[in-house]
């Protein structure tokens, strides 16, 4: 009976394609790097939640392409970008945290090249991918709007060669987070791109040597977004990034001074080209939910279904996805680190089936054995609590 | 939406010379747990309504009751409190506007009784927005807060006429405890005893 129930459920959610424009979240992080991996891990955790919040805020279907640890390679970066399947109303957000640099005397671009290798030992020029390449490939996919945000050094290195002949300039790098209103202000009715690199040519990018230990530009971006939520939710990209630049530079100078290093600061560079467009009246493009686990969890909290159906779905998901009812589920806060609850899978699924106002999830991490989940970490997103 | 306070706090704390490793929660983390607690109470209120409703299938109610009890200290079962004293389980005060009586029952008994009410139809709804105080540190590994809720109870007879109505304000003790599960220490927000503050006819 359990197998039948699961099969019925599987058919139900696979057939239930979600009709929405797509928010493509592409993220590469040097989380295994000996020197900066600890900081990149924090950046990646936080950005996973932010990406999901953004997609949820603008009511778009989130499709994720996350590569960190040993998966962060130049081949995978090129492959994932070249295989992006964008529709005209889609948004692409590319985020990179790791090592970067630029060729000596390279005046062809102000943006850095990204080291796409799990660790920074024994790297070669072939491992370096220019931000301009990232931007160019995404722009060729013709989404409505795209952002590229890279948090890495932009200083010269003799091993790196200029690649302006290979890749023409134009890219976008951006990073952000915030409430629904702010996300919508930044993303809705916009066409074009935003590119942000965390340091100007010749400069390194700094990691915070204190909590929360993120890259300074990533941290500044997140903080300015959050401050804007409170005071100016209609903030535009130019104003936002000016604030991000000022804060990043200030933080870098303070840390350099404190560590008795040469004080040079850290200045971000940007390329912002945005046109305001009318809301699309077109028919949304059908996009299936790619992540089957997430689709299954969303079906458990689907308020259109009555309690008994949601609870039966909870049972089906438990049997279909988890190694046992005792599998561990950790609920974390918005920083991706603070554990708010640890539950057994059976308790978790029954709770979410009955919980009002639960609207979405961000699956941070999961460990599997024989294709079934042994433990999982996720962040829950609720609609407004009144 | 005060999550930025956490980041700002980290910034200034670290600027003052680095963070000491303590078991205390930051202001931002306490806000996170406050939000979490509100969600738990919303679920509790909704499940009270489900358990009292004649429209919810009886076969679902044991599962709903189990999920509800999981929100409370030791899932409503006997426990040893922080001072080392034994406790027979989370209690719920119940009042009756007709006779003014206010009695205390084990929560699990109250939830079972809810499913056996003699009215032909029952409506239990949240009458007001739940409010929760700040968490205050009571001891190492323990913070407490108090939430207040308001419930409207309406019992109908066979003819569909309301024969009993009351509006009750209740307080719920909330504990934030440092616990260890499978060798992993973490903070856990759980609900505790529920007291009647006021009951009146509407």
Does the pLDDT of residue B18 top 50, yes or no? no
The 3-class secondary structure across chain A, one letter per residue, is: CHHHHHHHHHHHHHHCCEECCEEEEEEEECCCCCCCHHHHHHHHHHHHHHHHHHHHHCCCEEEEEEEEHHHCCHHHHHHHHHCCCCCCCCEEEEEEECCEEECCCCCCCCCCEEECCCCCCCCCHHHEEEHHHHHHHHHHCCCCEEEEEEECCCCECCCCCCCCCCCCCCCCCCCCCCCHHHHHHHHCCEEEEEEEECCCCCCCCCECCCCCCCEHHHHHHHHHHHHHHHHCCCCCHHHHHHHHHHHHHHHHHHHHHHCCCCCCCCCCEEEEEEEECCCCCCCCCEECCCCHHHHHHHHHCCCCCCHHHHHHHHHHHHHHHECCCCCEEEEECCCCCCEEEEEEHHHHHHHHHHCCCEEEEEEEEEEEECCEEEEEEEEEEECCCC
User: Percentage helix, strand, coil, to 5, in chain B?
Assistant: 30, 40, 30
pLDDT exceeds 60 at position B148: yes
Could you count the other beta carbons within 10 Å of the beta carbon of residue A377?
A: 20
pLDDT in the model for residue A15: 37
- Of B53, B82, B50, B42, which Cα lies nearest the Cα of B66? B50
User: Between chains, do B50 and A341 touch, taking CB under 8 Å as contact?
Assistant: no
The mean per-residue pLDDT over the stretch A270-281 comes to 74
Whether A168 shows a pLDDT value over 70: the answer reads: no
Range of lowest pLDDT (A1-15, A242-256, B56-70): A1-15
Phi, psi of A100 (to 5 degrees): -150, 175
Q: What is the structure's pLDDT at A335?
A: 73
**Could you tell me which chain A residue has the CA closest to the CA of B185?**
A339
Residue A19: band (very low, low, confident or very high) from pLDDT cuts 50, 70, 90: very low
| ipTM associated with this complex | 0.82
For residue B21, the model assigns a pLDDT of 32
Which of A211, A258, A354 comes nearest B64 by C-beta?
Answer: A354
H or E stretch covering B87: strand B86-87
Give the burial string for A114-149 (b: 16+ CB within 10 Å, else e). bbbbbbbeebeeebbbbbbbbbbbbbebebbbbbbb
Inter-chain CB pairs, A–B, below 8 Å:
96
Residue carrying structure tokens 């119940």: B94
Looking at CA atoms only, how far is residue B143 from chain A in angstroms? 14
| pLDDT above 90 coverage of chain A, percent | 31
Burial category of A363 from C-beta neighbours within 10 Å (exposed 0-12, middle 13-18, buried 19 and up)? middle
B66 contact residues in A (CB cutoff 8 A): 350
- Sign for the CA dihedral angle at B54, B60, B62, B63 comes to negative
Which pair of structure tokens corresponds to residue B3? 């999550």
The whole-number pLDDT of residue B202 equals 67
Are A59 and A20 a contacting pair, CB within 8 Å? yes
Residue A242 confidence (pLDDT) above 60 = yes
Convert the pLDDT of each residue in B58-81 to its tens digit: 999 999 999 999 999 999 999 998
Q: Do B50 and A307 touch (CB under 8 A)?
A: yes
Return the residue in B43, B57, B128, B135 with the most chain A beta carbons within 10 A, the one to mutate for interface testing.
B43
b/e map of A219-252 (b: 16 or more CB within 10 Å)? bbbbbbbbbbbeeebebebeebbebbbebbbebb
The sheet carrying A339-344 orders its strands as A339-344, A328-332, A372-382, A358-369
> CB of A364 within 8 A of CB of A45?
yes
pLDDT band at A17 (very low <50, low <70, confident <90, very high): very low
Contact state of A210 with B10 under an 8 Å Cβ cutoff? yes
Q: Give the tokens for residue A27.
A: 């993220």
pLDDT digits (tens, 9 = 90+) for A26-53: 999 999 988 889 889 888 888 888 888 8
Chain A residue with CA closest to B14: the answer is A210
CA-based nearest distance A346→chain B, Å: 10
Mean pLDDT over each residue of chain A, to the nearest integer: 81
Distance CA A93, CA A173 (A): 8
Dig out the tokens for B30 from the structure: 């306490």
pTM: 0.66
Which residues does A136 contact at the CB level (< 8 Å), separation at least 6? A167, A168, A169, A170, A171
Q: What is the model's pLDDT at position A377?
A: 92
**Structure confidence at residue A108 (pLDDT):** 76
With an 8 Å Cβ cutoff, is B12 touching chain A?
no
Length of chain B: 202
pLDDT (tens digit, 9 = 90+) per residue, A284-342? 444 444 578 988 999 999 989 999 999 999 999 999 999 999 999 999 887 777 888 99
Residue pair A310/A353 in contact (Cβ under 8 Å)? The answer is yes
How many Å is the Cα radius of gyration of chain A? 21
Paired sense of beta strands B184-200 and B162-181, if any: antiparallel
Q: Please name the residues between 84 and 143 in chain B that touch chain A, using a CB distance below 8 Å.
A: 129
* Mean pLDDT of the residues in chain B: 84
CA pair distance A9, A19, nearest whole angstrom: 19
pLDDT on residue B65: 97
Considering only CB atoms, A311 lies closest to which of B18, B60, B187, namely B60
Q: How confident is the model at residue B4 (pLDDT cuts 50, 70, 90)?
A: very low
Distance CA A43, CA A37 (A): 10
Cα B158 to Cα A208: distance, rounded to the nearest angstrom: 68
Q: How far apart are the first and last CA of chain A?
A: 40
Q: Among B13, B42, B181, select the one facing A342 at the smallest CB separation.
A: B181
- Nearest CA distance, B81 vs chain A (angstrom): 20
Q: Under a CB-based contact definition with an 8 Å cutoff, are residues A217 and A244 in contact?
A: yes
SS3 (DSSP) at B118: coil
CB–CB contact A311 B63 (8 Å): yes
Residue B4: which of A223, A342, A380 has the nearest Cβ? Answer: A223
Predicted pLDDT of residue A92: 94
Query: Taken in order A212, A216, A217, A220, is the CA torsion positive or negative?
Result: positive
Q: Average pLDDT for residues A232-241, to the nearest whole number? A: 83
- pLDDT classification of A7: cutoffs 50, 70, 90: very low
A94-151 per-position pLDDT tens digit: 999 999 888 877 777 889 999 998 888 777 888 889 998 899 899 988 899 999 999 9
C-beta atoms of A341 and B188 within 8 A: yes
Residue A86: partners with Cβ closer than 8 Å, 6 or more residues away: A22, A24, A92, A141, A142, A143
d(CA B150, CA B137): 26
User: Which site among B63, B177, B179 would you substitute to test the A interface, given the most A Cβ atoms closer than 10 Å to its Cβ?
Assistant: B63
How far apart (Å, rounded) are the C-alpha atoms in residues A124 and A73?
Answer: 12
What percentage of chain A reaches a pLDDT higher than 70?
Answer: 84
Nearest CA in chain B to A355: B43
The per-residue pLDDT for A160 is: 67
Name the residue with tokens 């990691």.
Answer: A207
Out of A335, A351, A382, the one facing B6 most closely (by C-beta) is: A335
Amino acid A316: pLDDT: 95
Closest in A179, A223, A354 to B67, CB measured: A354
Mean pLDDT of A185-194: 85
CB A206 within 8 A of CB A261: no
């Amino acid at each position: 009976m359990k197998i039948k129930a699961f099969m019925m459920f599987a058919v139900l959610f696979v057939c239930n394609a979600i009709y929405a424009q797509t928010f493509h979240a592409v993220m590469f992080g040097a989380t295994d790097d000996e020197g900066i991996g600890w900081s990149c891990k924090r950046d990646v955790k936080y950005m996973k939640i932010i990406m999901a919040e953004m997609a949820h805020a603008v009511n778009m279907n989130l499709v994720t392409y996350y590569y960190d640890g040993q998966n962060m390679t130049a081949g995978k970066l090129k492959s994932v970008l070249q295989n992006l399947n964008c529709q005209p109303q889609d948004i692409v957000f590319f985020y990179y945290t790791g090592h970067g640099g630029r060729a000596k005397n390279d005046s062809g671009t102000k943006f850095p090249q990204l080291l796409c290798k799990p660790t920074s030992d024994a790297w070669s020029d072939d491992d370096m991918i220019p931000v301009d390449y990232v931007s160019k490939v995404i722009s060729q996919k013709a989404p409505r709007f795209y952002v590229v945000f890279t948090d890495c050094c932009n200083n010269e290195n003799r091993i790196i060669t200029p690649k302006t002949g290979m890749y023409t300039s134009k890219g976008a790098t951006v990073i952000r987070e915030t409430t629904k209103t702010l996300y919508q202000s930044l993303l809705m009715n916009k066409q074009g791109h935003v590119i942000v690199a965390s340091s100007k040519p010749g400069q390194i990018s700094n990691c915070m040597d204190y909590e929360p230990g993120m890259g300074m530009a990533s941290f500044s971006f997140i903080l300015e977004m959050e401050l804007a939520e409170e005071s100016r939710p209609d903030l535009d990209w130019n104003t936002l990034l000016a604030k991000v630049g000022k804060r990043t530079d200030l933080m870098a100078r303070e840390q350099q001074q404190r560590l008795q290093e040469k004080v040079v600061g850290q200045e971000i560079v940007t390329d912002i080209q945005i046109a305001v467009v009318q809301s699309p009246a077109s028919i949304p493009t059908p996009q299936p939910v790619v992540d089957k686990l997430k689709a299954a969890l969303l079906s458990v909290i689907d308020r259109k279904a009555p309690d008994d159906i949601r609870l039966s779905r909870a049972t089906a998901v438990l049997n279909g996805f988890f190694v046992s009812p005792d599998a561990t589920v950790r609920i974390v806060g918005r920083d991706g680190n603070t554990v708010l609850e640890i539950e057994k899978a059976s308790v978790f699924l029954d709770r979410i089936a009955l919980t009002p106002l639960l609207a979405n999830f961000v699956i941070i991490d999961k460990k599997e054995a024989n294709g079934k989940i042994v433990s999982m970490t996720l962040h829950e997103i609720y609609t407004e609590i009144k | 939406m005060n999550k930025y306070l956490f980041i700002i706090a980290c910034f200034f704390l670290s600027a003052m010379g680095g963070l000491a490793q303590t078991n205390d929660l930051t202001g931002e983390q306490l806000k996170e747990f406050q939000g979490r607690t509100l969600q738990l109470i919303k679920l509790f209120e909704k499940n009270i309504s489900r358990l009292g409703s004649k429209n919810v299938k009886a076969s679902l109610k044991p599962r709903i009751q189990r999920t509800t009890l999981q929100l409370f200290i030791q899932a409503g079962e006997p426990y040893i409190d922080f001072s080392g004293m034994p406790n027979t389980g989370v209690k719920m005060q119940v009042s009756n506007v007709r006779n003014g009586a206010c009695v205390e029952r084990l929560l699990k008994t109250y939830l079972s009784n809810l499913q056996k009410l003699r009215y032909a139809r029952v409506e239990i709804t949240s009458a007001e927005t739940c409010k929760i105080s700040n968490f205050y540190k009571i001891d190492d590994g323990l913070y407490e807060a108090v939430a207040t809720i308001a419930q409207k109870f309406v019992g109908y007879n066979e003819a569909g006429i309301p024969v009993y109505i009351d509006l009750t304000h209740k307080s719920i003790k909330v504990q934030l405890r440092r616990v260890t599960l499978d060798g992993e220490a973490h903070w856990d927000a759980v609900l505790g005893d529920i007291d009647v503050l006021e009951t009146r006819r509407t």
